[in-house]
Chain A
Amino acid sequence: MTEQSGTSTRLTGAVQDLAFEVVSALRSGDHVGGVCGGAGIGADDGLGLAAVRVLGCDVLLPSTMLGRPADAVDLALFQQAVSVFPPAQDAPAVSAWSHWAMTRTLLRLAGTTDAVSTYPRPGGPPAAEPGAAAADGAAPAGEVGATAAEPGTGWLDDAPWQTLTHQLAVLAALAVPGADSGVARVAARRPVDVARGFVRAVRRRDWLQAAGAGRWLSVAGGAPDTLGLDAGLTFVAQMGAPDARVALHVHVAQELRAGTTA
């Protein structure tokens, strides 16, 4: 295992604190106040904002899953994280996708595309000025209802099932009720491969990957009945309990399996 720098360690800790707050909010159902405040993250906290960027759309999960208005402070920090941490032009697809999903969530919950206009499409021209018509016919940035074009899924379409599962698990924040994205479509098209990856992750004791794969299987459906996904999720939650992100993914998966989401 590679050693983390002090900053990386603190970032990991901040992500864990934030994930813990999100899980608490989801479990309580009547959580009052935002998750960022609970994790001690403010607008002047760069590392905290980075943690918001890393946890991605899951920061606003109490709103997207429970169907309640987003906390104003959470929303502002979420938007700030989107603006401050856009993916680079040569960023890996995973980074581009997580940022795209955040801009889309922001648009859905806040009706704003202020941050969307900062999103540089990998391999594409610079983002259009607000109100300017996009060259490819997409809706102009800056207009409510518009969002940046989806990054591609070419790197996932024919990926080996091990790679597919790992990448999907990293993008587990995109696995939400009603998920509609290229990544979700790939996951829905390859359920047996994701199931194989779930088994592999459990047997490698990679609880975070197993939780993420289980979340995708719960959202996309199609998991073989013989997989024993419910028992597997319970096992993963127990074994991966020290990791708040595992708890978060498993909670979402189990809620989806139970059909109790908003």
Chain B
Amino acid sequence: MASVEPVIRDLTELQDTELEAALNPLEAAGTFRDTRECAALALAGGQGGILLSPPTPRPKKG
């Protein structure tokens, strides 16, 4: 196997935290978190019709 030294030198700009963030990313931001509704849709959503419908509008605050 070729020496990894040139690779390691080239990696100096890549921080461990950056690689770890790519390997273990946080969940993307989202707005729909209704647990009961997700469970119901998974079990009774039909052929994707309800699953694929747009989320119910949330009431605006204020």
**Residues of A participating in the B interface, judged by any CB pair closer than 8 Å:** 1, 5, 7-8, 11-12, 15, 43-47, 49-50, 53-54, 76, 79-80, 83-85, 88, 91-92, 94-95, 98, 114, 162, 166, 170, 192, 195-200, 202-206, 208-209, 224, 226-232, 235
Contacts and interface: CB of A to CB of B under 8 A. Distances in A.
B24 A84 contact: no
Interface in B17-62: 18-25, 27-33, 35, 38-39, 41-49, 51-52, 55
Given A46-B8, A84-B4, 20 more contacts: A5-B18, A11-B19, A46-B7, A50-B22, A92-B24, A94-B23, A94-B24, A95-B24, A170-B24, A199-B42, A199-B51, A200-B32, A205-B30, A208-B28, A209-B28, A226-B43, A227-B42, A228-B47, A228-B48, A231-B52
Nearest to A8: B18
B45 A46 contact: no
Contact of A11 (B18, B46, B51): B18
B39 A170 contact: no
Contact of A12 (B22, B30, B39, B51): B22
Nearest to A83: B4
Contacts, number: 140
Interface of B: 1-2, 4, 6-11, 13-16, 18-25, 27-33, 35, 38-39, 41-49, 51-52, 55
Contacts of A94: 23-24
Nearest to A205: B30
A102 B19 CA distance: 16
Contact of B20 (A91, A114, A229): A91
A171 to B, nearest CB: 10
Nearest to A167: B24
A92 B20 contact: yes
Given A83-B4, A200-B33, A228-B45, A46 B23 contact: no
Nearest to A236: B52
A15 B33 CA distance: 29
B28 A203 contact: no
A44 B7 contact: yes
A7 B1 contact: no
B19 A53 contact: yes
Contact of A206 (B4, B11, B18, B27): B27
Count chain A CB atoms within 10 A of each CB in B11, B22, B43 and give the residue with the most. B22
B20 A95 contact: yes
